[in-house]
Structure 1
Amino acid sequence: MRRPEQVDQTTPASARDAVRELEKRLLGADRTMKRREVAAAAGVSILSARKIWRALGFPNLGDEEVFFTEVDQGALELMLGMVRAGTLTEETAISLTRSIGQMTDRMVVWQVEALVEDMVQNQKMSDPEARRNLVGLLPELITPIEELLVYSWRRQLNAAVHRLALRAETGLAASEEGRDGSEDDVSLPLARAVGFADLVSYTSLSRRMNERTLAQLVQRFESKCAEIISVGGGRLVKTIGDEVLFVAETPQAGAQIALAMSREFAADELLPNTRVSLVWGRILSRLGDIYGPTVNLAARLTALAEPGTVLIDEQTASTLVGDDRFVLHPQETTAVRGFGDINPVILAPGAGTGLVLD
């Protein structure tokens, strides 16, 4: 997040007025307050205020820098007000704020690059020219994108509420093997199907491609993965270059997604094959990511899978036995680092059409 004086120094003189007008619209007011002034006006200590600002991704500021607006004061009062009221602990308030700061930062970078790419590709602008012209285009996009953001957040929260109420019964016994006690006492509370998919030979491909072609390949891979996961009712956890991590509520749903990925990428002439893995087990969900041995095993199985195949473990396979939509091909026992000997199983499509993409 740039300070206003940095923008002035790096922006051509002809565009400074447009940048200032855009800033006023985005921030909702002029910058008139220093950090101690806004903290005092909000009735909080500078220490508490800095915790919120750092969670949002604000830069380090000196006492004399005029950086804040009255809108910033209202945001500070809003978040810390919930702490004062006892609705949230300070730690939880900071965690929620960090989730917003990190996700919106990534979202804005993604959106800016998508718009620049569009101008370069379809309007034949140079990259610097496209970035300059974007300042003039953004005022038309702010309101619709903002409304879409709120709409999407509400839909995603509603979906999360439904997931909270859903207990994946199918395959639950398999995830509880070797554990005594009730489901409520388990240290990893969520039973989920965890899947990985990665592009084969990505490293060698990336060395032979220019930046734009490589970016298009990665975007196509991520977009197709996101579509398949969405259609299958799963959730895309994260993408890491040539790799995608996803979860599903049941082993059957996860298996359908994994098979669809393998099928779709094998048929795509512009993308290499994928290796896909799936493991049903328990996980811990924190900070938008997932953790636990189930995730680690899924990652290990991806490395073992042959191109164009889906590899699962024996326990996951046991939850799919008797379902004619899936064919299971047991493989030789294999030593897996951190897990000892496991019995991998190749998952193949059986009866039915599998996931149908529009």
Structure 2
Amino acid sequence: MTEPGTEPGSEPGAEPGTGPSGRVSEDFTEQLLGRPLELRRRDVSRGAEVSLLSARKFWHALGFPVVDTDDELFTAADQRALAAVAGIVRDGLLDEQVALAMTRAFARSADRLAGWQSQLIAEAVEEHMSAALAEEGDDDEHETRSVPSVETATETARRLAELTDRLEPLLVYAWRRHLSATVARMLADADPESYGMTKMRSVGFADLVSFTALVRRLSERDLARLVSRFEALSADVITAHGGRLIKTVGDEVLFTTVGAAPAAAIALDLVDTMTQDDVLPAVRCGMARGPIISRLGDVFGTTVNRASRLTAVAQAGTVLVDATMARELASLSGFELTGQRRRILRGVGPVTPSLLRRAATTGRRQAPSPTVPDPSQRAGSRSDA
């Protein structure tokens, strides 16, 4: 949904189509929205049978600022979306506060998704342009830019406009699949015979060692490729063992599993995968097992904090686990645990970690690795999943 004054390429309150970015965005706005901009804000509110105040709440929940203008900047899809949320409230399926919270959840996820996918396309376009310039012996501009050029941005917009209708069914499909998996986990957690009154998880962190030095050494472009490579490899390893990737924050990934063994396999595979990679530095992992709190797609609590602090004290290429995790893994074949000295972890307190290794006689199931570019090479010679 597009809010007045916030079309792609414009600043809130700016006249649509003014300036170079405005002229460019005009060509793609209606294509990306899939409908013509033919409705005013009052038309949308009237058609959805809601007040302007309720409409404002909806726009805010979607993450758009309200700009008081009566230009034709809305589409029939905006009206249908507002009517759908209003109908859910009228039918008593959700109250207004919960309906707006659900809308915010969609909006935050969609905003990150749109940015992520646009960047992927822009990088692919930039890669192609850099390769062409490298053949001509002139790629300095594309190597040093930290933001896309007008040519790159325009081509990215064109490709996204062409792909939108084909990708939309995938978005709905992925949401339904993940919703089904989430409900299944919730039902399992609700079974008192499983874990009692708490949600028990194995929580793991993995972060790149010496990342600060890489930030100083690599260009922004190559650094972005390195982070993308780390995220792609980590995601493949985590999902291969049935884990859940909670979030990635630059040089760090956070994951959870229901059991202890899958988490241990993930951590060890992450260490091995990054060690064998010619581009990425080594990683270190910290894991803890215990109750967690899930909120807004993230996880919180003492267990999460303990895993994070253990990661911070782990050596490069090693995995440290807390006592609870160690006890569960001790009874399983395939793992070796070595007790470490007692530590006082900031914000956590005393912890006696164990060093986790793969048993010498145990084979390793290699997680599939995506094909990703090598940021240490120049664009012309480079052979995010």
TM-score, normalised to structure 2, is 0.82
Larger displacement relative to structure 2 (27-36 or 155-164): 27-36
Equivalent residues of 1:325, 1:354 under 8 A apart: no
Identify the residue that residue 157 of structure 2 maps to in structure 1. 135
Alignment of 1:99-114 (within 5 A): 99-114=105-120
Q: Distance in 2 between matches of 1:47 and 1:316?
A: 51
Equivalent residues of 1:194, 1:245 under 8 A apart: yes
Structure 1 residue matching 2:223: 3-state secondary structure: helix
Q: Paired residue for 1:35, among 25, 37, 41? A: 41
- CA distances 1:273-325 after superposition (whole Å, capped 9, x unpaired): 11101111111111111111111111111111111111111111111112111
Change (3 A) 1:96 1:254: same
Identify the residue that residue 48 of structure 1 maps to in structure 2. 54
Deviation at 1:65, TM superposition (A): 4.2
Larger displacement relative to structure 2 (78-87 or 224-233): 78-87
Change (3 A) 1:6 1:196: farther
Alignment of 1:101-180 (within 5 A): 101-124=107-130, 126=142, 127-128=148-149, 129-167=151-189
Structure 2 residue matching 1:87: 3-state secondary structure: coil
Identity %: 39
The letter for the 1-side match of 2:234 is C
Q: Distance in 1 between matches of 2:73 and 2:324?
A: 56
Equivalent residues of 1:326, 1:348 under 8 A apart: yes
Deviation at 1:168, TM superposition (A): 11
Q: Paired residue for 2:303, among 294, 303, 327? A: 294
Deviation at 1:219, TM superposition (A): 0.7
Larger displacement relative to structure 2 (59-68 or 222-231): 59-68
Equivalent residues of 2:32, 2:161 under 8 A apart: no
Q: Are 2:103 and 1:93 equivalent residues in the alignment? A: no
Larger displacement relative to structure 2 (131-140 or 67-76): 131-140
Across the two proteins, how many residue pairs are aligned to each other? Answer: 341
Identify the residue that residue 268 of structure 2 maps to in structure 1. 259
Deviation at 1:251, TM superposition (A): 1.3
Deviation at 1:7, TM superposition (A): 5.1
Q: Distance in 1 between matches of 2:214 and 2:176?
A: 39
Q: Are 2:353 and 1:331 equivalent residues in the alignment? A: no
Equivalent residues of 1:232, 1:355 under 8 A apart: no
Change (3 A) 1:355 1:165: farther
Change (3 A) 1:6 1:119: farther
Q: Distance in 1 between matches of 2:21 and 2:225?
A: 30
Q: Distance in 2 between matches of 1:84 and 1:263?
A: 54
Identify the residue that residue 76 of structure 2 maps to in structure 1. 70
Identify the residue that residue 59 of structure 1 maps to in structure 2. 65
Deviation at 1:29, TM superposition (A): 3.0
Structure 2 residue matching 1:86: 3-state secondary structure: coil
Q: Distance in 1 between matches of 2:252 and 2:270?
A: 12
The letter for the 2-side match of 1:79 is V
Identify the residue that residue 319 of structure 2 maps to in structure 1. 310
Deviation at 1:243, TM superposition (A): 0.8
Q: Distance in 1 between matches of 2:66 and 2:351?
A: 50
Task: Give the ranges of 4+ consecutive aligned residues of structure 1 lying more than 6 Å apart after TM superposition.
Answer: none
Larger displacement relative to structure 2 (317-326 or 346-355): 346-355
TM-score, normalised to structure 1, is 0.88
Q: Paired residue for 1:83, among 66, 79, 89? A: 89
Q: Distance in 2 between matches of 1:167 and 1:204?
A: 42
Structure 2 residue matching 1:307: 3-state secondary structure: coil
The letter for the 2-side match of 1:88 is L
Q: Are 2:358 and 1:352 equivalent residues in the alignment? A: no
The letter for the 2-side match of 1:164 is M
Change (3 A) 1:6 1:323: farther
Identify the residue that residue 239 of structure 1 maps to in structure 2. 248
Change (3 A) 1:282 1:41: same
Deviation at 1:21, TM superposition (A): 5.4
Q: Distance in 2 between matches of 1:269 and 1:332?
A: 33
Deviation at 1:167, TM superposition (A): 4.9
What are the ranges of 5 or more consecutive residues in structure 2 without an aligned counterpart?
Answer: 134-141, 143-147, 369-385
Equivalent residues of 1:279, 1:312 under 8 A apart: yes
Change (3 A) 1:29 1:354: same
